[in-house]
Chains A and B, each alone.
Chain A
Amino acid sequence: MHNEIIIGGFGGQGILFLGKVLATAGMLEGYHVSWFPSYGPEMRGGTANCTVIISDQEIGATISDHPHIVVAMNEPSLFRFAPSLKEGGLLLINSSLVEKEYQKEGIEIAKIPANQLAGKVVNNPKTLNMVVLGALIGYRPILPLSQVHRALEECLAGKEGLIEKNNQALETGWQYACQGGVTHVSQR
């Protein structure tokens, strides 16, 4: 078990939190994990990304040159990170914000209208990150969903009021992925 995951998007989309929940879930499942954010001058409107590594071995570098999974929450991060995807990797796209098509041989591409699902189904646009995380686990079950729910609760300690909606968002994304939501698969 070794997965390197890059999550990229705008600041304010909850990218770093998504990564933290994912890494916490990996930790609870007994794996080695690391989380590494992009950091820089405090300018607004910039991009944010983070790298999460979940592995059964001690983790070396906490950045990834060839990730197994890229989550593109917006267009700039799609074109920045997708080209480095490993053969057989998963590219998960937030189709609510990404209109352009992306082609790369030997990877799997999945799309989820995360903003719409968060807004219309969960009724809380801020939960889009958890919709995406649920979908990620649905497409690539690298961790049990139950562990992700536990991790979410741990990460929201002190903000218990937010747990219910976020759990619902996870579930929504997961179901969307499991019910054949893959809209495009490119194969060699």
Chain B
Amino acid sequence: MAVVFERPKTLIKKPFTYCPGCHHGLAQRIIAEVIDELGIENKTIGVGPVGCSVYIYQFLDTDFVMGAHGRAPAIATGIKRTQPDKIVFSYQGDGDIAAIGTAEILHAANRGELISSFFINNAVFGMTGGQMAPTTILKQKTTTSPKGREPKSHGFPLQLCEVLSACQGSAYLSRVALTNPKLINQAKRSIKKALLTQIEGRGFSLVEILSPCPTNWGMSPQEAVDWLEKEMIPYYPLGEIAVKEGILHA
């Protein structure tokens, strides 16, 4: 990966503490760049989740609120309804957004809440040591699906973007990955579109970012990238899943 970035202003000058090969840091850097480009660093408020994503507040130089596991979209709603002129985003993992926080994200989308959610899908509960997540793919072994995920007892991988696309309030839903420079550029465009959707008052926006968790997948960083491309993308096809113009607030 030969992409060389200049350090975005909105990225605090300190090394990421994520595991080698984890894309949490990369995703946060791209969000910081977009915030820079939109010039919104002074009116952006982030809402942190519980999971490895929580460390975002240590790296992104905007105001932040940290809340309970899965509730970030509700907290973001509270902030946005109090301060409609602010840009409010949540940054959540798959356990946080698609397991315990399913109700909050679904209803934020359904209300067309003017917030943006960045969703790091790494197919496991990373911080707690690699348990099965709703996004774990079939046959994937985790510490709580030791023989591999199988539909009969564990159900199917949850495609959150597709689920949310059924909500009228979802104005922009997109799924991206950061495994090569081309995809990184696409991801950046998606993140920008999501924030613009909010800025333009068109409705709820979410970008799902597929991300490796080499530590809990038991792989080297390169193996993890390969696995993501080969095994995960077929379950989670990349691209814009819903782009709806001015449904609610236009």
A residues near B (Cβ < 8 Å) are 41-45
Pairs A–B under 8 Å by Cβ, sample size 21 = A41-B52, A41-B127, A42-B52, A42-B126, A42-B127, A42-B128, A42-B129, A42-B130, A42-B215, A42-B216, A43-B17, A43-B18, A43-B19, A43-B52, A43-B215, A44-B19, A44-B20, A44-B214, A44-B215, A45-B19, A45-B20
**Complex interface: chain A residues within 8 A of B216 (CB):** 42
Q: How far is the CA of A72 from the CA of B216 in the complex (A)?
A: 27
Secondary structure of the A side of the interface?
loop
Considering the complex of A and B, which 5 residue pairs feature the smallest CB-CB distances, nearest first?
Answer: A44-B19, A42-B129, A44-B215, A41-B127, A43-B19
**Mask of B42-53 contacts with A, CB within 8 angstroms, 1/0:** 000000000010
B residues near A (Cβ < 8 Å) are 17-20, 52, 126-130, 214-216
Q: How far is the CA of A159 from the CA of B66 in the complex (A)?
A: 44
**Complex interface: chain B residues within 8 A of A44 (CB):** 19-20, 214-215
**Complex interface: chain B residues within 8 A of A45 (CB):** 19-20
Q: Given contacts A42-B216, A45-B19, could you give 17 more A-B pairs where the C-beta distance is less than 8 Å?
A: A41-B52, A42-B52, A42-B126, A42-B127, A42-B128, A42-B129, A42-B130, A42-B215, A43-B17, A43-B18, A43-B19, A43-B52, A43-B215, A44-B19, A44-B20, A44-B214, A44-B215
**Complex interface: chain A residues within 8 A of B214 (CB):** 44
Which residue of chain B lies nearest to A44 when distances are taken between CB atoms in the complex?
B19
**Complex interface: chain A residues within 8 A of B17 (CB):** 43
Q: How far is the CA of A43 from the CA of B18 in the complex (A)?
A: 7
Which residue of chain A lies nearest to B21 when distances are taken between CB atoms in the complex?
A44
**Complex interface: chain B residues within 8 A of A41 (CB):** 52, 127
Q: How far is the CA of A45 from the CA of B17 in the complex (A)?
A: 9
**Complex interface: chain A residues within 8 A of B215 (CB):** 42-44
B81 nearest CB across to chain A (Å)? 32
Q: How far is the CA of A43 from the CA of B130 in the complex (A)?
A: 11
Chain B CB within 10 Å, residue with most, of A42, A43, A45? A42
**Complex interface: chain A residues within 8 A of B130 (CB):** 42
**Complex interface: chain B residues within 8 A of A43 (CB):** 17-19, 52, 215
Which residue of chain A lies nearest to B213 when distances are taken between CB atoms in the complex?
A42
Which residue of chain A lies nearest to B17 when distances are taken between CB atoms in the complex?
A43
